[in-house]
Amino acid sequence: MNLRYLSGVTTLSYDSDKCRGCGMCAQVCPHGVFALENGKAKITDKDACIECGACRKNCPFEAIQVRAGVGCAAAVIGGMLRKKSPSCGPDTKGGGCC
C-alpha cells in the first residue's frame, strides 16, 4: 500500500529538552509519528505527519510545535480566493473537505 503523501514538507518540530515523557503525543497521533523511548518522546516517522495538531494540543509541556491545518485542496483554494486562511465545512461554500 502506497498511502503516503509528499515528504519533507511537515512543519512539525519537537524540543526533547522540554519533554517529560508523558507519552500523550504517541497516543494521540493517528499516524504513529511519535514513539516513547527511554522515557522521552522521539519522532520516528516525520514524513507521516499530517499536521493535525493533536500532539501539540495535548503536550502539557509545550515541547511540540506544528502549524496545524487542513490537508484539503478545496479549503486551501477557497482560502486563496477569499484571501483568508483555509478552513472547511459550513464556513465555506462547497468543498469536498469534511
By CB under 8 A, name the binding residues for another protein: 1-7, 9-11, 24, 27-32, 48-54, 57-58, 60, 67-77, 79, 84-91, 94-98
Burial (Cβ within 10 Å: 0-12, 13-18, ≥19) of residue 94: exposed
Which of residues 42 and 58 has its CB atom nearest to another protein in the complex? Answer: 58
Q: Which residue has the cell 515528504?
A: 7
Longest dimension (CA), the chain: 48
Which of residues 28 and 40 has its CB atom nearest to another protein in the complex? Answer: 28
**What's the min distance (Å) between Cβ of 40 and another protein?**
18
- Per this entry, what is the length of the chain? 98
